Structure 1
Amino acid sequence: MLDPKVLMTIKDLPLLARTVIDGFMNGFNKSKVKGPGLEFSQYRSYQPGDDLRWLDWRMFARSDRYYIRESEIETSISVRFLIDASASMNHDDNRIRKIDYARFLAASLAYLANLQGDSVGLYVFQDDRLFSLASKPDPQHLQRLFYHLQQVNPAGTFTQPVHYKELFAGAGRKELLVFITDMYQAEGEISKLLDSLSALKHEVIVFHLMGKNEIDFDFGAYSTLEDLETGKTIEINTQQASTYQEKLKSHLDNIRMQLLGKHVFYRTIETSQPLDTALRDFLVQRNKGRF
């Protein structure tokens, strides 16, 4: 049920998200964090700096050594989903648009984050505007996120709004930002945004969506391509496929290295791929980001 073609048949976004996560989590053991809490898990030796409230004095009486009681607890954070809604996200590959894949991915991850007790928020970039749905943990808020996510209609260009810093305003702690984009930028607008966001010291995950036809340089019988944002057209020559793919590889490697230098997690995902990879990447990064 994680195949995008199958998901396209599910018109109800909450149902789609629940279906994806139920299938993904079937047999998946959630990892937990060790720390002081209510349910006892195990002992460990006392280390300088440990909170003395969690010393077990009975163990000290029996062994004449200091031990700390550990337990399994779940930590919660704020997860913000940032969606690129520029016109290029209308790119279609085998009847799956990038914005559709972005919708499936964001809805599923938001549902998963909500299950873990995290707050979720939605932010949509389109032209010079930023739609904001502040981060909250309750199920009713998740339904509002689904509704607004369903209304996203790509148009215009990607332009960084002046008030982008409201993404993290007033939280007072580190957060996790999941940015879903096609990385299409005329003058480095997305790179500049990521520079600014990484400077705020928050965890950032970038899912770079690409159509398989873009990667393979396979547009069937078409000999002309149109830029969805500028309307410009270009003639293509299938004989240049190898040159195109070499330049594309170099371009993607460059993006990856730039984001690595900013400590931003980056993953390229084909819109024909099942959602498994992105979901696992999210969980790994989510667990790394427990503060």
Structure 2
Amino acid sequence: MSRPLLDPATLSAIKDLSLVARTVIDGFMAGLNRSQVKGTGLEFSQYRSYQPGDDLRWLDWKMYARSDRYYIRESEMETSISVRILIDASNSMNHRDGPLAKMDYARYLAAALAYLAYMQGDAIGLYIFQDGQLFSLPSRKDPQHLSRIFYQLENIQAAGKFTEPLQYKQLFTGERRKELLIFITDMYQQQGEISGLLSSLAALQHELIVFHLIGKNELDLDFAGYTTLQDLETGKTVSINSAEMKKAYTEKLQQYLAATRMQLLEQQIFYRLISTDQPLDKALRDFLNQRQKSLT
């Protein structure tokens, strides 16, 4: 029987972010038994639900302790890395599509990824780009640290412009061991500041993944009842009340998205565009399927 997908607007009614993360990952794990997904960093062995008669030696007791459910680990791949989650919390992340802001989707996605990395035994760090500053929780792998990350994610308030380069020092002082950097952003930039940061991070030769969040109303230019839009960070307004404008917007948007994707791929940065109306467990499965194909 198929499992209902986890609509992000529905999840927004759950105030406990750790519960959101467990709910999303439980749905995600339910889909892993249909397709084995592996990849460097956030490496997943194949799981399936325990069935009577299964060899008890292959029960994943850590998974049971965390989810209160029995899973069989069908293959094993040793991995222990530092996963650093970077979140753009500048004011443009307050953009809404219906009841859900990009910032909300970012916090749910980050919480799910942090919980998943924790279950694998990876160290997790959190870095928040907000109002010109950089908040950081260096990578650790203990339950208390995961709780701290959930707390910070719950309390993020998108504000101001993107972080000033002067604050980046903490990003370049990580350990020398292998790291995975996951950057969640809407890629809104005024002077190439995000592209510059990504180039600098790519030079560290760690693995870098970018989740580019975009509202469905941005993709479709569907702002019913409005004739002008205001930039959340600059305050500038633009008219959207003509068919010609919508056609030009759509063409430029597609060119921009294609150029962004190519620019990042040329720097060996894994890129994934996500519309904020997409269910989170589906977004994770699609991401890992795409990632697996790119690694084979």
Common fold: TM-score over 0.5: yes
Structure 2 counterpart of 1:180, from 159, 184, 187:
184
- Aligned twin of 2:141: 137
> What per-residue deviation string (whole Å, max 9, x for no partner) do you get for residues 101-139 of structure 1?
000000011001100111111100013210000111111
Question: Structure 1 residue 257 and structure 2 residue 262: aligned?
Answer: yes
> What amino acid is the match of 1:11?
K
* Structure 1 pair 116–168 and aligned structure 2 pair: CA distance change class (3 A): farther
Which of the two has higher C-alpha Rg?
Answer: 1
What's the % identity of the aligned pairs?
A: 64
- Aligned twin of 1:189: 193
1:285 Cα deviation from its structure 2 partner: 8.5
1:159 Cα deviation from its structure 2 partner: 3.1
* Structure 1 pair 208–88 and aligned structure 2 pair: CA distance change class (3 A): same
Q: Distance in 2 between matches of 1:238 and 1:96?
A: 26
Structure 2 counterpart of 1:267, from 262, 272, 278:
272
Contact 2:186 2:214 in 1 (8 A): yes
1:31 Cα deviation from its structure 2 partner: 5.7
1:23 Cα deviation from its structure 2 partner: 1.3
Report the secondary structure of 1:101's partner residue: helix
- Aligned twin of 1:234: 238
> What amino acid is the match of 1:82?
L
Report the secondary structure of 1:79's partner residue: strand
* Structure 1 pair 285–109 and aligned structure 2 pair: CA distance change class (3 A): farther
* Structure 1 pair 214–100 and aligned structure 2 pair: CA distance change class (3 A): same
Contact 2:102 2:214 in 1 (8 A): yes
Q: Distance in 2 between matches of 1:179 and 1:243?
A: 29
Contact 2:133 2:167 in 1 (8 A): no
1:231 Cα deviation from its structure 2 partner: 1.5
Q: Distance in 1 between matches of 2:290 and 2:228?
A: 40
RMSD: 2.3
Question: Structure 1 residue 243 and structure 2 residue 248: aligned?
Answer: yes
Q: Distance in 2 between matches of 1:197 and 1:18?
A: 30
1:19 Cα deviation from its structure 2 partner: 0.7
> What amino acid is the match of 1:188?
G
More deviation, 158-167/212-221: 158-167
- Aligned twin of 1:222: 226
Contact 2:27 2:281 in 1 (8 A): no
> What amino acid is the match of 1:155?
A
> What per-residue deviation string (whole Å, max 9, x for no partner) do you get for residues 44-76 of structure 1?
xxxxxxxxxxxxxxxxxxxxxxxxxxx944211
Structure with more strand by fraction? 1
Gaps of 5+ in 1: 34-70
Q: Distance in 2 between matches of 1:235 and 1:113?
A: 44
Q: Distance in 2 between matches of 1:2 and 1:111?
A: 16
Question: Structure 1 residue 86 and structure 2 residue 90: aligned?
Answer: yes
Count matched residues: 253
Q: Distance in 2 between matches of 1:265 and 1:213?
A: 25
Question: Structure 1 residue 25 and structure 2 residue 29: aligned?
Answer: yes
Report the secondary structure of 2:159's partner residue: coil
> What per-residue deviation string (whole Å, max 9, x for no partner) do you get for residues 250-270 of structure 1?
011000110011000111111
* Structure 1 pair 265–221 and aligned structure 2 pair: CA distance change class (3 A): same
1:273 Cα deviation from its structure 2 partner: 0.6
| Aligned positions of 1:24-63 closer than 5 A | 24-29=28-33
1:287 Cα deviation from its structure 2 partner: 7.8
1:93 Cα deviation from its structure 2 partner: 0.3
Contact 1:160 1:193 in 2 (8 A): no
Report the secondary structure of 2:160's partner residue: coil
Gaps of 5+ in 2: 40-74
* Structure 1 pair 269–74 and aligned structure 2 pair: CA distance change class (3 A): same
Contact 1:32 1:74 in 2 (8 A): no
* Structure 1 pair 256–22 and aligned structure 2 pair: CA distance change class (3 A): same
More deviation, 278-287/264-273: 278-287
1:283 Cα deviation from its structure 2 partner: 4.5
Q: TM-score, normalised by structure 2?
A: 0.80
Q: Distance in 2 between matches of 1:286 and 1:120?
A: 20
